[in-house]
Structure 1
């Protein structure tokens, strides 16, 4: 039996914490709550958290700062909540490492749908079985000295350091590595990273690409790996080697 996903809700509104806790607990999730950044950090030390639901407007340290702090140390998925209408909080939230965002007020069912989409991305969608009990459990991608282990969701730099990726960044790099040296439109990348049910947000993919570029090569002014194709989208310019990693079922 699959272990229940453990969620952490970080919001200073007690009514929202209680509403979401009841709704998500009824659907099989374990839920912990925090009212500010200090409580959030204590819960992250205490538990192994599978996803954080993080409000931007918090007393003391705000959600954007907390998101950035978490992302520097972990790839745990983060959905941000904002009461501000418009793109500003969304853009900044994505820039500091959030995987998705919702504007308040929202329908808890929409939050649940977005959570499930993130968990599908993180799980990789399962494995393909082959003959004689051998199955392809994941893939190993190699490019320019980098190695991406799909099953472990682990990206190692040429100097062997592990680079943390959010679930959105992981889905994005896999989309590029599966189709190297081919132009991918923004719609192609939105579908690959957030699913066909995603609500298109013009700058979301551009921000994700910018974040991924910084992690891969630092200098976003003259990218060598992920290049912009004006008026079309992006192309992963490096040659990619891919090999399946097989294991016994």
Structure 2
């Protein structure tokens, strides 16, 4: 874990120095920092990073603007860092593919905790693929008719076609598939899948649920598989016709 490479992107030198200091105290020694979006793009072209902390309010091109260009060179999780705290801003960051959203002012230890949670999901794996060395079981395929989730292959198939699935989207869907017809609150899902306390922010789970629905539902506006039980939480619906197979 401590070999992970981290890129910090922020135009405030004090924030960069604070995060670098805390990360290094926590054992993360490979921490680079840049101050502009253009520098971030070039850094991602030059090196492979395991996680990126990207400020939204950058001089010139914003973090939102440069994010698609960063995604062209790396699949590393991106944590947006910004003074904007409205739900709209958070949802914008998640909607374009961000993995987490941290608002200023922040506790640097919270940033470290969120980075650590992302690294647990990404370092040593590729988008949800679990090596057979870490799991003695045969490949499990969760068959829901319209879609199938192949755990060890790390593949989501919808109507027979492989659909791209970012790691945390895959892991959240996998967790639900392993626990069908059971209701989980947003906080419970965050703690189970992300591996950290929810920090009183459940937008992350909500947006990732939306991403899953976009992939597996015929009409995401009227979901049949992942449903919201009002006032309680989410569950994935599995009936007696849907089998768990192990080829």
Q: TM-score, normalised by structure 2?
A: 0.77
Q: How does 1:156-195 map to 2 (within 5 A)?
A: 156-167=157-168, 169-195=169-195
The question of 1:39 aligning with 2:39 is answered: yes
Note the aligned Cα RMSD (angstroms). Answer: 3.3
Q: Which residue of 2 is the match for residue 24 of structure 1?
A: 23
User: What CA deviation, in whole Å up to 9, does each residue of 1:88-129 have, x standing for no partner?
Assistant: 3223222222222222232322211111122234469xx9x9
Distance 2:43 2:134 in 1: 40
Distance 2:138 2:75 in 1: 19
Q: TM-score, normalised by structure 1?
A: 0.77
- Partner SS for 2:136: strand
Q: Which residue of 2 is the match for residue 53 of structure 1?
A: 53
Q: How does 1:1-249 map to 2 (within 5 A)?
A: 4-26=3-25, 27-67=27-67, 70=70, 75-122=75-122, 136=136, 140-143=140-143, 144=145, 146-151=147-152, 153-167=154-168, 169-195=169-195, 197-217=197-217, 219-238=219-238, 239=242, 241=244, 243=246
What is the Cα deviation at residue 141 of structure 1?
3.1
Distance 1:153 1:190 in 2: 20
Q: Give the ranges of 4+ consecutive aligned residues of structure 1 lying more than 6 Å apart after TM superposition.
A: none
Distance 1:41 1:186 in 2: 33
Q: Which residue of 2 is the match for residue 247 of structure 1?
A: none
Q: Is the 8 A contact 1:73 1:164 kept in 2?
A: no
User: What CA deviation, in whole Å up to 9, does each residue of 1:9-36 have, x standing for no partner?
Assistant: 1112233223323432442331222322
Show structure 2 runs of 5+ residues with no match: none
Distance 2:208 2:89 in 1: 15
Structure 1 43/157 Cα, relative in aligned 2: closer, same or farther at 3 Å?
A: farther
Show structure 1 runs of 5+ residues with no match: 245-249
Q: Is the 8 A contact 1:57 1:82 kept in 2?
A: yes
Distance 1:86 1:195 in 2: 25
Distance 1:171 1:18 in 2: 33
Structure 1 59/151 Cα, relative in aligned 2: closer, same or farther at 3 Å?
A: farther
Q: Is the 8 A contact 2:41 2:69 kept in 1?
A: no
- Partner SS for 2:40: helix
Distance 2:18 2:244 in 1: 48
Q: Is the 8 A contact 1:74 1:164 kept in 2?
A: no
Structure 1 145/63 Cα, relative in aligned 2: closer, same or farther at 3 Å?
A: same
Distance 1:78 1:214 in 2: 20
What is the Cα deviation at residue 208 of structure 1?
1.9
The count of aligned residue pairs is 236
- Partner SS for 1:182: coil
Structure 1 243/25 Cα, relative in aligned 2: closer, same or farther at 3 Å?
A: farther
User: What CA deviation, in whole Å up to 9, does each residue of 1:60-108 have, x standing for no partner?
Assistant: 3322233455558754211111112443322322222222222223232
What is the Cα deviation at residue 137 of structure 1?
6.7
